[in-house]
Structure 1
Amino acid sequence: MEVIIITGASDGIGAEMARQLARARGNAVALVLAARNEAALQAVAADCAAAGAATLVVPTDVAQQAQCRALVAAALQRFGRIDSLVNNAGRSAHALFEEVADLGWYEELMKVNLWGAIWCTHAALPHLKAARGRIVAVSSLAGLVGVPGRTAYGASKFAMAGFFEALRAELKPHGVSVTTAYPGVVDTRIRHRGYNAAGGELGKSSLREEGAMPVADCARLILGAMRARRREVVMTAKGRLGRWLKLLAPGLIEKIAMKALKEEARPHA
């Protein structure tokens, strides 16, 4: 039985990955589901169990290192091994830097998006090496291209991409794959729950949502890349093109990034 830990599994991409794994693997997979919302985790676990998967719900705040360690310990106690770790937990944010009075929430965002992934990975690493397993890091296109208003979010995702790129090289001799995923705008509520300039909740998305990728498609692409042990998966054609344009025409990329924002979310002179 393959044992897979998924953080941020209570809704959105994480929950959908869990459901797809359960439907595809049935009783051949054990899913360790982690997030802060226990009731939502239990609902996802029930869906997965109905498809035949073994499940374990571990309420976890990845911004707390001790809870990341406890998550890994709970998985080992229940199933005795860890084959894959999906670092999916994350929070969004949108604020113009000049409008931020207290940078405390920048630090909190970094704990969730970067340190949570690092802490979980560090705790699970010996067991992933023993299994010659897989690590997935769910980053964002904002981790490849800077977007106005996303200084905090982009910083966390750029850092995440750099950490896992270096770790991939370190773990190659041990047979552990590291896949970094770069979703674009996906049809979830993450942007509505992100930080605003005052450190509160945005309550709405600052990005244009037209043509947002269905969450099922995003989850399927990430899981396919994980199975194939791919280095990375950039979700959209625009994202793949943007990586090259950033090198060849950086001014054009800045204009494209600006157009991705709703008018009221753009910086103005």
Structure 2
Amino acid sequence: MPRIIITGASDGIGAEMARQLAQQHRQALQLTLAARNLEHLQAVAAQCQAHGAQTLVLPTDVSEENQCRALIASSVQQFGGLDVLVNNAGVSAHALLSDVSAEHLAWYERLMRTNLWGSVWCTHEALPHLKASRGCIVAVSSLAGLVGVPGRTAYSASKFAMSGFFEALRTELKPAGVAVTIAYPGVVDTRIRYHGYNAQGEAAGVSGLKENHAMPVAECARLIVQGMERRQREVVMTRQGKLGRWVKLIAPGVVERMALAALKHPHTDA
């Protein structure tokens, strides 16, 4: 019976992964759902329980180390171990660096605590249990963690750091039989960008990206679940994303123009 923890499970990709896993494994699933919004977590848990999954709901702010460690400990105590940790919790941001004043720059650090350190703290606490089960770690990064996106300096920095951390960790854990899958979604039809930071460190309320070709969240979640179960090294989404990482090596200027084109107003609005 797989024992899985998903952070950022109250909405978007994390919630959809939980629902798909519950449909797939039904009674043979012990699922821990973590996020800050208790009401939303309970709603997702109820949907998973309807398919027979056992669920544990743990309100968690991954930007706080003690809460990350408590999440892992409580889940392991409840289910007797851990097979998969999905580091999905994250916050978005859209702002040109030149538009961020010195007094507001501190939100860069807050974003890094969520997107990078939350994954580090959860993973560090989970390592002994994942080694015991020869389990799997999933890190939900972003195409912005492969190619720097203008207007997303903070977000790209956090996702590049996340990718580097988990690439190195994958090699460290190879002898222990623990797989590390890094997922690189592009623009997905969720609300994450609308809740992300603007230049003043407040909820943006709008997305700075063109979303007419956004990937459905169900498709994104399906690809991550598939990659997790196949213990793939990487899940790079969209043809443009797969092309961009290689073109970057031989024609970086082309990739920069592609990145600018993804913004609604590349010269005036992030």
User: What TM-score, normalized by structure 1, do the two folds share?
Assistant: 0.98
CA contact (8 A) 1:35 1:58 kept: yes
CA distance in 2, matches of 1:266, 1:148: 9
Task: Give the ranges of 4+ consecutive aligned residues of structure 1 lying more than 2 Å apart after TM superposition.
Answer: 265-268
CA distance in 1, matches of 2:136, 2:239: 25
CA contact (8 A) 1:148 1:267 kept: no
CA distance in 2, matches of 1:157, 1:133: 23
Match of 2:251 among 249, 252, 269: 249
Amino acid at match of 2:21: L
Match of 2:227 among 225, 228, 237: 225
Q: CA deviation at 1:267?
A: 4.5
Q: CA deviation at 1:103?
A: 1.2
> Unpaired runs of 5+ in structure 1?
none
Counterpart position of 1:49: 49
Alignment of 1:200-239 (within 5 A): 200-239=202-241
CA distance in 2, matches of 1:266, 1:154: 18
CA contact (8 A) 1:84 1:135 kept: yes
CA distance in 1, matches of 2:166, 2:77: 27
Alignment of 1:1-269 (within 5 A): 1-101=1-101, 102-263=104-265, 265-267=266-268
CA distance in 1, matches of 2:188, 2:267: 20
CA distance in 2, matches of 1:124, 1:243: 31
> Unpaired runs of 5+ in structure 2?
none
User: What TM-score, normalized by structure 2, do the two folds share?
Assistant: 0.98
CA distance in 2, matches of 1:147, 1:267: 14
Give the secondary structure class of the aligned counterpart of 2:194.
Answer: coil
Superposition RMSD in Å: 0.8
Among all aligned residue pairs of Structure 1 and Structure 2, give the percentage whose two residues are the same amino acid: 68
Amino acid at match of 1:119: W
